[in-house]
């Protein structure tokens, strides 16, 4: 019987630290690797930065297009813009004239 009580005492000193170490490892693993862990946070942060860059590019493109629409509106018609659009759309040009189209 003394062997069982000694084994139980040793098991208590081994079992509880093992359980606590397992719990700590589990929490640490999910803090780093989990669905909402640090690695996932860094990936999402990178995606947000890429989306903000794309948004800024689209905002600039929208402003440029809005400016062109404003210049071609009947209330404030810009003759140079109208001439440029006519040349592009209809292919008109003067003799001895070189046209360079930029995208």
- pLDDT above 70: percentage of residues in the chain: 99
Residue 25: per-residue pLDDT: 96
The C-alpha atoms of residue 72 and residue 85 are separated, in whole angstroms, by: 9
Place of tokens 């690797």: 33
pTM above threshold 0.85: no
Which tens digits make up the pLDDT trace of 46-87?
999 999 999 999 999 999 999 888 888 888 888 888 887 887
Contacts of 71 (CB under 8 A, 6+ apart): 77, 78, 81
Which tens digits make up the pLDDT trace of 19-38?
999 999 999 999 999 888 99
């Amino acid at each position: 019987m003394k062997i069982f009580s000694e084994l139980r005492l040793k098991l208590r000193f081994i079992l509880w630290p093992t359980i606590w170490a397992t719990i700590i490892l589990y929490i640490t693993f999910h803090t780093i690797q989990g669905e909402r862990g640090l690695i996932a946070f860094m990936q999402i942060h990178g995606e947000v930065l890429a989306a903000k860059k794309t948004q800024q590019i689209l905002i600039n493109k929208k402003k440029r297009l809005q400016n062109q629409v404003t210049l071609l509106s009947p209330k404030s018609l810009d003759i140079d813009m109208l001439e440029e659009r006519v040349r592009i759309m209809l292919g008109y040009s003067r003799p001895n004239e070189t046209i360079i189209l930029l995208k």
